[in-house]
Structures are given as structure tokens and as C-alpha cells.
Amino acid sequence: MPKFQYTIRGTRYLDTPLHEHLDTLFTSHQCQAKFHETKSRLVIELEGEEASIRALEPELLKEISQIFDVHSFVKTASDMRAKRMKKRIPESKSLEEELKKAVKLLNRGDIVAVKTSTGFHLICNAAKTNAIKKLRTLLTQPTKPFPVIFRNLISAQKYTLLSKIEKALLSEPEHPFVIVRKKNLHRLEKERYKYILSPHINPLNRRLEIALAPTPFYEKIFSEVAFPLVCVPVTNNGKVITDAEELRQQFGDTIKQICQDTQNIDHPSSVWQVIYGKPVRMDKEIVPSLPAQYTNVKIDFETTNVGKLTLAPMRILLDASGKAQPLYSALSLLFAAQPIDKIDFSPFPIDSETILELHQQWERDENTIQSRSLLTLFDAIATLSGTLYEKSFQTESILLAEGHFEVCEEDLFDYNIAENSFSIDIVSAWKRNNKLKHLASTLANTIAQIIADEAIKAQKPVYLHGSLLHFRDMTELAIEKLREANLEVLY
């Protein structure tokens, strides 16, 4: 059975015996473990089936993070020789020719499809804006950020700001994707670089979702090109396309070539982000069993809870297809705030007759939902600021808000707490200042303050989780406030 070694560097903040805390976890995954602990480092030697170890890793990191303030989490395989020998197998002539053609197409800005064991991915030159625009048109994704693959850490550091923990995550054998901050290159730096990342990779903020070359196939591509690659999985009705004929039917001649990733190694599927010095998995929430003394804070797309408080329900109109959209969320909040004849609808791209029909529909509670999600408020401020009326993916308004975030301790939205629920008044503040930077920052700061106030009132350790942890700056501000109040925070 394969053996792996995990090296965790960090500072202990719990005196829990490791065997007592982790043995149950290893037993449930049928793995054997040995521990070596020093003052600032923990080494775990793990033996078991590879599939079991992969399933164990996210839970292991989560459990370790409850005992250690983790600075780095590095995995190494005990037998690297087999991997090195695998890479020495000579390529067939046809594969070499296939790679040469792919490199030629990527250099001139075309799109290439890569078939992997999990389905098709489309790749293109991340430095060619025309290639990115072509890919967006092809996938009908006008603003959704695209993942980027770099050759190595040296290449990634040219374009992004990487902490030690982010470097350690990127260097793991599975090469997970990590959300990092993009460098703001000044003019002289741009002149030095032959390739500059297209701003159209993420037009919403300065975050990038990146990974290092995940398979030998990509390493061979990078041996011939010096630019990073955008890599996007291809889906149809939410399912990854695995059939070449289906790919051709959907995209036709736009796909110039299909390559085979012959090593049969899965592309990285996990997505991580470092929040306040700790790696957190973004694509899959792992909820530990927590003692009753913790204050549960869940800031989510469905229901938002802060301790015993729940976000008050908001009656929100849906569009004709039954989806929540920023324009309809904003109109719903305006309808609830004041009489229709007192509202100025001139900033919105909608005629008065339609507004009247929507208002009557809202009053009848027809085609509406009772939303308890903070995402609804972020959607609404995107429209109230005149920035976004219809979103093309779920978290678009969140990413927009993050791009305009700044700390503002004093100027917060008014909020009300009644009968174990809280509500935030954004309409009154919108009348005074409708700029997205003001509305986005104020909402994020208000949420962080509500979390801190309720946790301080309860005087319990806090477990912070939910989908809105994607909003890294807001989450870090909340954690900072909680730690200033000497409260233990898990997330």
C-alpha cells in the first residue's frame, strides 16, 4: 500500500493528545498513522489505499486546524522513483506531433480541447485577450472568472502575491486550485514581462484561481510555451462533457484540436483559499462535530444565522424563469421600504408599466420567495449602484463587492434585531450614496459587526462557516473583530 508523509508547521493552541483526537478518523478510513511532533512541526506518516487517503485529506486538515494554527501543510509521497520513471517513458511520434500542433495553435490564440479521465477541458493562452474573449463567447460566460494553470511556482509568483501557505498548497502532489491575489504590475514591470495576463480572465476583482501543471501532459506543453494557460471544464446542462462527438456538436469548428491527456491522472478538483493564515476548502464544506458551547455563525446563500439570530425573511420577486436576479431583488426591497409612488425608478432599465405589474405581483406574493440569504442583499446593492441587473452565475455580485471592499468602522447600515431575527436597511443609505464602493463596503462591514456583537454577547467560542466565506475580506474582518474580543474562532 502507498505511503505518504504530511508535514504540518504551525503553533499549537490546544493541548489535545493527537492519538485521542485523530485515531477515530484514521480508523474510519482504514489508514495506519505514525506521529512525530516537535515544538513547531508535526509529521504524520500515513499508510493505506490511495483512494482512502485522498478522501481523508480534507478531514485531516480540518481536524488538525482545530489543534494547530497551521502555517503550512505539505504532502510528499514516500516513493518518488516510480513517478520519475513514469515520466521517462518515450512518447510516440503521433503524440509528439499532437503536442507540436497544440503549441502552434495556443501561440496564435486558438482554443484546444484536452480529454482527461474526467471529461473535456478547453485551454487557451492566458496572455491573449482575444483568446479569452473567444472562450467567453463559446461558453456563454461573460464575467465568470476562469482558472489559470502556471508552469511552476516561479511563473506563478510573477503574476500573483503568494504567501508561504499558498505556495505549500500549490506544491502538493494533487496540485489543487488556490484562490490568490493578482499582482498590480506597474508600467515598468509590464515592459519587462513578455506575457501579461489578460484582464478578461477575471473582470470582477483582483483574485485568481490558479494551479500548477497538474499532469505530465501540461508539463510537456509548458516545455514549449512560456505563457500561462486558462483551463476550463466543458459542461452541458451541468454535466462535464466526456464524448468527443458531443463536444463537436456543441462547438463545431471553433475547437481546432483535441488532445489526449494520456497519463490518466485526474485534474485537480478541490479549490482552496487561505483565510487569515489558514487554508479553507471552498468547493466542499466539511462540518466538524462541535461541542454545544460554540456559537454557530453560518453566512450562506440559503439561510444566514448568527448565533440564535436568523436573517429576517425578505419577500423577493423571481424572474420569468423562476430565478432570483439582482434587479428583482432591488425592486422587492424598494417595494417593502416605501409606497410605490414615493420611489424614483428612473435609474433602472425598466418601464413604468412593467414596474406596476411587478409591484402588483409582489403584493399578491406571486412568483416570490422568502429569502433569508445575505446573497440577496449583495444582489440588490449591485443593481442599486447601477452596476449589475442580471447575473450570469450565482456569486457574481459577491465577487463584484469584494473588488470594492475597504474597512469602514463607523459608517454602517442601520440594522434591527427583533424576535430572534435581524434585518439590514440598505435602502435608506442608498438614497444618500448609491456608489457600489460605498454600498458594498458598508454591507460587508455591517455583517462583520453584527457577527462580532452577537458573539461577544454570547461569550462563547465561534464556529464560522457557510458559502459567503468566499468573500475573504469580509470573513477576515469578522475574525479580526472576534479575536480582538478574545474569542476563539474556528472556520
Q: What is the CATH number of the domain that holds 158?
A: 3.90.870.10
- 264 and 153 both lie in a single domain: yes
Q: Are 36 and 42 in contact (CB under 8 A)?
A: yes
Do 43 and 98 share a structural domain?
Answer: no
pLDDT at 91 over 50: no
Average pLDDT over all residues of the chain: 87
Query: Which three cell numbers, joined as nine digits, stand for 177?
Result: 486550485
Of 271, 300, 334, the domain-final residue: 271
Q: What's the pLDDT score for residue 233?
A: 92
pLDDT, tens digit, for every residue of 426-480? Answer: 999 999 999 999 999 999 999 999 999 999 999 999 999 998 988 999 999 999 9
Q: Which of 79, 109, 125 is the last residue of a domain?
A: 79
Whether 62 is covered by a domain: the verdict is: yes
The amino acid that residue 290 corresponds to is L
> Does the residue 93 lie in any domain?
yes
- The CATH number of whichever domain residue 314 belongs to comes to 3.30.420.40
**Same domain (yes/no): 210, 242:** yes
Is residue 66 situated within a structural domain? Answer: yes
74 shares a domain with 92: no
Written as one letter, the residue type at 219 is: E
Instruction: Look up the CATH number of the domain holding residue 31.
Output: 3.30.70.600
Domain containing 23: what range? Answer: 3-79
- My answer on whether 456 and 343 are in the same domain is yes
- Model confidence pLDDT, tens digit, residues 296-317: 999 988 899 999 999 999 999 9
Residues 144 and 20 in one domain: no
148 and 174 in a common domain: yes
- Asked if residue 280 is part of any domain, the answer here is no
- Classify residue 312 by its DSSP letter: P
Q: Is the pLDDT of residue 83 over 70?
A: no
98/299: higher pLDDT: 299
Consecutive H or E run containing 347: none
Could you give the 3-state DSSP secondary structure of residue 200?
helix
Q: Across-strand partners of 371?
A: 314
- Domain-embedded: residue 284: no
pTM of the model: 0.78
Decide if 240 is inside a domain: yes
Asked whether residue 66 falls in the same domain as residue 90, the answer is no
Number of structural domains the chain divides into = 3
Question: C-alpha grid cell for residue 5?
Answer: 508523509
In-domain check, residue 344: yes
- Average pLDDT of the segment spanning 182-195: 67
Asked if residue 160 and residue 40 are part of one domain, the reply reads no
**Could you tell me whether strands 255-260 and 111-116 are parallel, antiparallel, or unpaired per DSSP bridges?**
parallel
- Whether residues 315 and 238 share a domain: the answer is no
Q: Give the separation between CA 30 and CA 293, rounded to whole angstroms.
A: 31
- Which one of 26-35, 37-46, 336-345 scores highest in mean pLDDT? 336-345
Centre a 10 Å sphere on the Cβ of residue 155 and count the other Cβ atoms it contains: 19
CB atoms near residue 417 (< 10 Å): 14
79, 111, 146 - which closes a domain = 79
Q: Do 418 and 432 fall within a single domain?
A: yes
Number of C-beta neighbours around residue 252 at 10 A: 9
> What Å distances lie between residue 186 and 22, 148, 178, 183, 192, CA to CA?
48, 21, 24, 9, 10
What is the share, in percent, of the chain residues with pLDDT greater than 70? 92
pLDDT at 237 over 50: yes
Read off the pLDDT of residues 319-345 as tens digits, 9 standing for 90 and up. 999 999 999 999 999 999 999 998 989
Q: Are residues 294 and 405 in the same domain?
A: yes
Residue 477, helix vs strand vs coil: helix
On whether residue 283 sits in a domain, the answer given is no
